[in-house]
Chains A and B, each alone.
Chain A
């Protein structure tokens, strides 16, 4: 063994190959290899109050029935096209989430539109892409899937449909579960708290300092929400900074707003169509993600 280690080139060459092999494996394990940890048990999910929709009115930009009201506006500011969905529901059980392939795990992915079609969603956006990370609270439709902190702020949606932001490090997901929390998202940052913008021009996701496609959700009032998805990374649309995004939520009167996964993941689906132009900067193609937020029965 020692004789082998002494060899000037043999050891170096062998170790280089070993290192390349190890790096290839961990990259595959991180980004490609699928690991299912749990499957969604429909019997665990809380049931919604009403499934009868009443009279439905649908146009290309609106949907309205007895329990759900959605209208979508296309806006143009900051050299960017973005889409604002105004959503009102009669009960929070109509605001749901879905996991790709109905499974919780790593690298389990489907497009937002495929998941939305599968769930017969009226409206859907990409979620927080929990499957890209090993930590960060994951509570979906009242079921706890992950209770490890990502040392970040998480968005909590309670059973009354009210939003609040918690610090994961100082929170226990089991305590949240006892409070009948409906959804918890771990991405961020928080854009607005108590009707005040809490990001500035230098606030960005990780180290990103440019405008990007974005997805974010905010609350105006009881069971009344705003969702904004922006295009970006294209010649037509530069994308929004977090401050610009927060300013839009402020304009619509949101008391709280939270940034979800963006970039190539940003997708808005409505009545069977993708509303925005998903782009990763190289191609305009809908990216597969691990979870969605949707409105439906």
Chain B
């Protein structure tokens, strides 16, 4: 199989894994809401949006735009891992915010999660762009 073919499979795998993660987030929110006595939190209800938009849709579009070509694979892998870690952090933050909202509590850790998640996503995204667009000297 060609490298392009392998990349296509990897891309598809990422989109599907994120799709599973979207379903998992929806299920967690549903189960949590069963015990919430009617108290709802948008952060909990819509936490699936992070893996949906930032994961499945993002990688789907990226794959189409780049035609699944990765110029500098090692850089791409670093960016890919950092971006995914950032996205996971923001999703967990959304869950935590939902728990706080439903309980009527508050915490200063939300900002920490936001900063770490956002920073990892930005660094990861930039690294992936470099890997996809710029050839090695």
Interface mask (A147-163 → B, CB under 8 Å = 1, otherwise 0)? 00010000000000000
B108 in contact with A134 (CB, 8 Å): yes
Q: How many A-B residue pairs have CB under 8 A?
A: 83
Contact A19 B88, CB 8 Å, known A133-B105, A206-B101: yes
A38 contacts B by Cβ under 8 Å: no
Among A3-11, A81-89, A91-99, A168-176, the stretch in contact with B: A3-11
Q: Say how far B29's CB is from chain A's closest CB, in angstroms.
A: 13
> B84 at interface (Cβ–Cβ under 8 A)?
yes
**With contacts A30-B100, A31-B105, A206-B104 known, is A6 near B37, CB below 8 A?**
no
Report yes or no: A15 in contact with B88, Cβ–Cβ below 8 A: yes
- Are A135's CB and B106's CB within 8 A? yes
Bound Cα distance A217, B99 (Å): 28
Most chain A CB inside 10 Å of its own CB: which residue of B37, B39, B82, B85: B37
Q: Are B89 and A208 touching (Cβ within 8 A)?
A: no
Interface size band for A: 20 to 34
Check B37–A263 contact: CB distance below 8 A: yes
Which of B39, B99, B100, B107 makes the CB contact (< 8 A) with A208?
Answer: B39
Q: Quick one: which of B35, B38, B40, B106 contacts A133, CB cutoff 8 A?
A: B106
Q: Is the interface of B mostly helix, strand, loop or mixed?
A: helix
Give which listed residue, B74, B78, B81, B103, contacts A31 with CB less than 8 A. B103
- Mask of A270-297 contacts with B, CB within 8 angstroms, 1/0: 0000000000011000000000000000
Contact of B81 among A5, A210, A263, A281 (CB under 8 A): A5
Contact A209 B104 (CB under 8 A): no
Contact pick for A27, options B35, B96, B108, CB 8 Å = B96
Instruction: Find the residue from B82, B89, B104 having the highest chain A CB count within 10 A.
Output: B104
Alpha-carbon separation in the docked complex, A184 to B111 (Å): 28
What separation, in Å, do the CA atoms of A210 and B109 have in the docked complex?
A: 29
- Taking CB atoms and an 8 Å cut-off, the chain B residues in 78-120 that contact chain A are 78, 81-82, 84-85, 88-89, 92, 95-96, 99-109, 113
A282 CB, min distance to chain B CBs, angstroms: 8
Segment 195-239 of A: residues with Cβ below 8 Å from B: 205-210, 212, 233
Q: Which of B35, B82, B102 contacts A206 (CB 8 A)?
A: B102
Q: Could you tell me if A132 and B103 are in contact, using CB atoms closer than 8 angstroms?
A: yes
> Within the assembled complex, what's the spacing in Å between the Cα atoms of A281 and B109?
29
B41 within 8 A of A: yes
Cβ of B66 within 8 Å of any chain A Cβ, yes or no, is: no
Q: In angstroms, how far is the closest chain B Cβ from the Cβ of A31?
A: 7
**Which of B77, B101, B106 is close to A134, meaning CB atoms less than 8 Å apart?**
B106
B42 close to chain A: CB less than 8 A: yes
- CB A182 to nearest CB in B, in angstroms, measures 25
Judged by a CB distance under 8 angstroms, whether A37 is at the interface is no
- The chain A residue sitting closest to B79, CB to CB, is A5
Q: Are B37 and A210 in contact (CB under 8 A)?
A: yes
Most chain B beta-carbon contacts within 10 A, residue among A5, A31, A210, A233: A5
Closest residue of A by beta carbon distance from B105? A132
CA distance A114 to B22 in the complex (A): 45
Tell whether, in the assembled complex, residue B106 and residue A26 are in contact, meaning their CB atoms are under 8 Å apart: no
Q: Mark A131-147, 1 if CB is under 8 A from B, else 0.
A: 01111000000000000
Residue of B nearest to A26 (CB): B109
User: Known contacts A5-B78, A12-B84, A19-B92: does B38 contact A26 (CB below 8 Å)?
Assistant: no
CA distance A29 to B107 in the complex (A): 9
Q: Considering residues B41, B81, B101, which has the most beta carbons from chain A within 10 angstroms of its beta carbon?
A: B81
Q: How far is the CA of A209 from the CA of B40 in the complex (A)?
A: 8
In addition to A6-B78, A212-B38, 7 A-B residue pairs with Cβ atoms within 8 Å of each other are A5-B82, A22-B92, A23-B92, A30-B105, A206-B39, A206-B104, A210-B38
- B residues lining the A interface (CB < 8 Å): 35, 37-42, 74, 77-78, 81-82, 84-85, 88-89, 92, 95-96, 99-109, 113
Which are the 3 A-B pairs with shortest beta-carbon distances? A210-B38, A208-B39, A207-B40
